[in-house]
Amino acid sequence: MQTRLLTTIQDVAEPAHSALIIVDPQHDFCSEKGAMAQRFGFDMKEIREAVPKLNALIEACRAAGVMVVWVREVFSDDKMHPNQKALWGSGDDIWLIREDGDGIAWYDGMIAPARGERVITKWQYDAFADTELHLLLQSRGIKTLLMAGFTTNVCVETTARHGYIKGYHIVLASDCAGAPTRAEHEASVFNVKTYFGHVATGADLAAIWSRSSSAVRARS
């Protein structure tokens, strides 16, 4: 039997088979006092401005019955590859998202995970590598990943690319993700839209679900 192809964003983002993947909304990646800003001198304005929109999308997903998955990154000396250590330090010299540091905490502007929402810990950019994420999604019949979080051009895009290769439909919630610079963010938006799936705002997705719910009620 031929599988029906999901080509429109309305079909792709159907709540019953979609999961919101919230990537790394952590202190070190979002706060002006976090390690990324302090080490590289990044202006975190673009990221901070995305946080309220991400919070709104999380609430919209909960209301629509979309599965919500939180992802956090931790750099641990016994789980880092040599190439990671060359960039981010090893042992006591690890300076970003240390497993024993405050940088791994959720950014204080984020709403908290709700009871029952799974938290996946990843050890590098990719949320699928060496984690249970794929098994979790498969067990719930998920076909679509709604990608959000930080930073757009590193961990969000890396996870989206791997998700696409694994057969998931990809939707980037473009205003619910961010990077230190607009150029980095827009490059990833272009990549996803052109090569990997769909791009929509959080408000776009909420509106799709609202219209769908209204249509169901009208037919009842």
Indicate which residues carry an active-site annotation.
Answer: 24, 122, 155
Q: Please, which residues have CB within 8 angstroms of residue 198's CB and are 6 or more apart in sequence?
A: 9, 12, 13, 169, 170, 171, 172, 192
Extract the tokens encoding 182. 């607009």
- Is residue 69 within 8 A of residue 148, CB to CB? The reply is no
Count of other CB atoms within 10 angstroms of residue 46: 19
Residue 38 has a CB neighbour count (10 Å cut-off) of: 14
Q: Is residue 40 within 8 Å of 96, Cβ to Cβ?
A: no
